[in-house]
Amino acid sequence: MSHDDKFLGAHTIGTTACFFLMDRLYNFSSREGPDPSIDKDLLLELMETCPPNGDINFRLPIDHDSGDTFDIQILENIRNGFAVLQSDAKLMDDPVTKRILDSYFMVTNQSVKPSFEADFVKSMVKMGRIGVKNGPKRGEIRRVCNTFN
């Protein structure tokens, strides 16, 4: 399997609102408390940035400490428990995506080491060819990203 078969690292640039983190920080999986996969230092930082009664519209970088730079840091963050978004953290739960993530860091021979940047470009080109889904027989356009219509 080539690395561009899976699309990883799209959150290397961008922000999210506290609104999208509240359940992960305070009421994870219908239980009280945070997502146990978050690094403890990151958890404290996110809780300080997004307190329970704070501004849910406050924006913070998705790629911790590297939100303004297109780089591989997002994958390192995911591997080390510093994924801001739960959807990124879950990449480590799947053996296929975990293996792909790890492959960017395990190879020491630079001539055979996969290139995050090159793989990202290939994935974006592939996604651009998917086409628009519009209509009941061609797919579903979600009105809310994390739920089905």
Which segments are annotated as binding site for Ca(2+)? 12, 63, 71
Q: Which residues are annotated as a binding site?
A: 11-12, 63, 71
CA 31 – CA 145 distance, rounded (Å): 22
Buried b (16+ CB within 10 A) or exposed e, 6-35: bebbebbbeebebebbeebbeebeeeeebb
User: Annotated binding site for heme b, which residues?
Assistant: 11
Distance, in Å, from the CA atom of 7 to the CA atom of 62, rounded to the nearest integer, reads: 16
